[in-house]
Amino acid sequence: MNISNGQPPPLTLERLFDTPGLSGPIPAMARYAPDGRSIAWLRPADDDFERLDLWLCDLDSGSSRCLVDARSLDGSRALSEEEKARRERLRVFSAGIVEFLWAADGSAILFPVSGRLHRLALESGSTPEPVTPAEFFATDIRIASDGRIGFVHDRNLWLLEAGGQPRQLTRDGGGSVSCGLADFIAQEEMHRFDGYFFAPDASRIAFLKVDEATIPLSHRYEIDASGFSVHPQHYPYTGGPNAQVELGIIDLRDDSIRWLEWAAPDSEYLARIQWRPDGEALVIQRQPRDQQRLELVELTLDGDARVLHVETSDTWVNLHDDLRLLSNGSEALWSSERDGHRRLYRLDLTSGDLLPLTPADGMVLKLVDVDEAARHAYVEGWLDTPTQRHLYRVSLTAEEAPERLTPGHGCHQTQLAPDRSSFVDRREHLNQPPCLEVREVGGSLVAELVANRTDTPSHPYHPFLSGHRAAELGELTAADGQRLCYRITPPIMDRGGQHPVIVSVYGGPGVQRVQDAWTPLIHQYFARRGWGVFELDNRGSGHRGRDFERPIHGHLGATEVADQLLGIEYLKTLDWVDPERIAVFGHSYGGYMALMCLARHPDVFRAAVSVAPVTDWMLYDTHYTERYLGDPAGNAEGYAASAVTSYLEGLAKARPGALLLMHGMADDNVLFTHTSRLMHMLQDTGVLFELMAYPGAKHGLAGRRTGLHRFRVIEAFLARHLEGDRHA
């Protein structure tokens, strides 16, 4: 799509961060109604890309409309601390309507705004009506099968009855104790965002009571534009204690609570909880502190425990959400990386036998749905090319090969209709920003909900197509023979000669950056400046399987950097690349990688931009850090070798001022302490560097104005080091 129709119009940073968003109305959270006749989704408003509105399509008529313009709602109330933390963990940075739920009977859609739940009846002329009291701040809202609504308020679990009266179910919440909320570790590292679970018949609720008093209290200073505040925080530093977690069952007939003993003697983490289909028992997933074992355990309401299945590893066992208990009560679907890549299995819960349903050389990324009557499962993943993501229909008897249901190439996120005759598909590829379509399972297109075609004159990006530089995908071979995928956005080369390259890196576990997917438009901005952008998923990155991840075990920042250096060697073979002008840029783990690349190879990288980096793993949390580095007491050498602060000599050898540090001054995940400690050590060592700190900003450094300023600073910094002061 490298169209050349004369000189392209200027693509400025101001336009990149202005409304409407240049990538178009990117859809989010598309969900079928319970009867499958309509689909609701969220999309950015045309007049403010940071605000999400609620849209609806009637599939019978094919008509779509904005169901709720979030401007019509009062969103002025400040979020509660619990809701702020939950959104930060979910990486929800938008305003307006950020989540919604279908009523159990499909007659209405419910959504929270500023902590107050609203209900919109789907009948002509209806308007959203608040259903929770004004004095309540409802967090983590869920709907039971009988229509009653659960939510957390003031750190306790409540139930909204059919008549609209809230009923308090727990009373222990307050201070260091919460009931019905997932704690920091569960949300941030285990990706379990639920703290309570309705039984299938809505007669009971399983819930978690979390007491963080076992974690020593530390004080985090949040600095904003008007001053600073001190936030006491039970931050679970690696090697230290975790929160105490109890599992209770509330009988909604009399609100009595029964406590279940969920842990084995060495259990540390309650990773997943769900009800058995008959509602007579829970099935949980638990792990010891080292995460080298994952146990699937059935807990009866009488407290009896039976281990159903065990996964083990000599490194770590990744968590997932792919458990589906089948209605026969004796089998389940389960995914496992025991063979290297994640495969879907049919698990016999009595014998423990596993029947593989997907190929050994493919990768299951998500179990989407199960049709027991037709003996099919539906999964997202890839079978041959790691940069793709498709929907497949899989035989539960393993008698047929998986059948791909999504068309073309690219990456797809899907949801099956209730009758599984169709699916909604959020589709994108290198030259197509995310769009939303409905397709029959047989393949034919039913409806375009959000076409988002850049070749349409009305699309926000259309005026800039003539200057678009198509990204290219490729592969390199790691030292151990594994495939390393890269994506490169070449610069506009009308000036000829050799050009700088920015290595944009994440490089950490659980994340895959290199895909056949729409690339961040900041890459197009850099390309117009004459800078190429190179991305490579090193070993240790996510969505590639156990064997691809495990080389980082016990020592972070070594294998990852070595693979990035392999990418640099490839760049040097390209005629348009200036090997003397290569910079590295990353955020979070990518910020850590930017520092490690510069510190370990100051002769290779001319400059580095490190945003919100981990600098010393002793300052990070238990679950994430110990998964890869183990207990600090047993791997002191690995922790030291993985810390940026151990490589000050390398940073001192870099070009003067070659490092730009950026960090939010209210970051509650990668604490500002990481950057302030490194700053102090660099100052003591006499290393020149630059710093930009953002008052009030959390880990994501979210917001249009913050983003615009951040990239202005980054551009000016890189221009000084890659081009000289004439372009700064």
Task: Kindly list the averaged pLDDT for each block of 10 residues, start to end, along the chain of length 728.
Answer: 59 96 96 96 94 95 93 88 89 93 94 93 88 92 94 96 89 96 96 97 98 90 72 90 98 97 96 97 98 98 95 97 96 96 97 96 97 97 96 96 96 97 98 97 92 96 95 98 98 86 97 98 97 98 96 98 98 97 98 98 98 98 98 98 97 97 94 96 97 94 95 98 67
Amino acid identity, position 319: L
**CA-to-CA distance for 225 and 705, rounded, in angstroms?**
14
Domain for residue 5, yes or no? no
| Token output for 496 | 């000829």
CA distances from 167 to 24, 150, 246, 254, 460 (A): 43, 9, 22, 12, 48
Q: Does the active-site annotation cover 76?
A: no
**CA-to-CA distance for 307 and 315, rounded, in angstroms?**
22
Amino acid identity, position 469: R
DSSP designation for 471: -
Maximum separation of any 2 CA atoms in the chain, in Å: 78
Q: Is 158 helix (H, G, I), strand (E, B) or coil?
A: strand
Domain for residue 292, yes or no? yes
Q: What is the pLDDT of residue 124?
A: 75
Q: Does residue 11 contact residue 528 with C-beta atoms inside 8 Å?
A: yes
Q: What is the pLDDT of residue 495?
A: 67
SS (H, E, C) 282-307: EEEEEEECCCCEEEEEEEECCCCEEE
Cα torsion 640, 643, 645, 648: sign: positive
Domain boundary among 251, 280, 313: 313
Domain for residue 276, yes or no? yes
Domain for residue 678, yes or no? no
Domain boundary among 254, 288, 313: 313
- 588, 616, 642, 674: the catalytic one is 588
| CATH code (residue 177) | 2.140.10.30
Q: Does the active-site annotation cover 53?
A: no
| CATH code (residue 489) | 3.40.50.1820
Domain for residue 244, yes or no? yes
Amino acid identity, position 298: E
What backbone phi and psi angles, to 5 degrees, belong to 657? Answer: 75, 20
**CA-to-CA distance for 109 and 122, rounded, in angstroms?**
7
Amino acid identity, position 33: A
Domain for residue 533, yes or no? yes
Q: What is the pLDDT of residue 725?
A: 47
- 610, 667, 674, 721: the catalytic one is 667
**CA-to-CA distance for 592 and 180, rounded, in angstroms?**
34
Amino acid identity, position 197: F
Q: Is 196 helix (H, G, I), strand (E, B) or coil?
A: strand
Q: What is the pLDDT of residue 229?
A: 75
- 412, 601, 699, 721: the catalytic one is 699
Domain boundary among 313, 331, 366: 313
Cα torsion 700, 706, 707, 710: sign: negative
**CA-to-CA distance for 513 and 389, rounded, in angstroms?**
13
Q: For residue 94, how many C-alpha atoms fall within 13 Å in the half-sphere facing its CB?
A: 21
Q: Does the active-site annotation cover 699?
A: yes
Q: What is the pLDDT of residue 123?
A: 84
CB atoms closer than 10 angstroms to residue 69: 14
**CA-to-CA distance for 325 and 59, rounded, in angstroms?**
31
**CA-to-CA distance for 471 and 469, rounded, in angstroms?**
6
Domain for residue 427, yes or no? no
Q: What is the pLDDT of residue 225?
A: 67
* Count of the separate structural domains present in the chain: 2
Domain for residue 450, yes or no? no
Domain membership of residue 259 as a residue range? 164-313
CB atoms closer than 10 angstroms to residue 479: 12
Report the predicted TM-score, pTM, of the whole model to 2 decimal places: 0.95
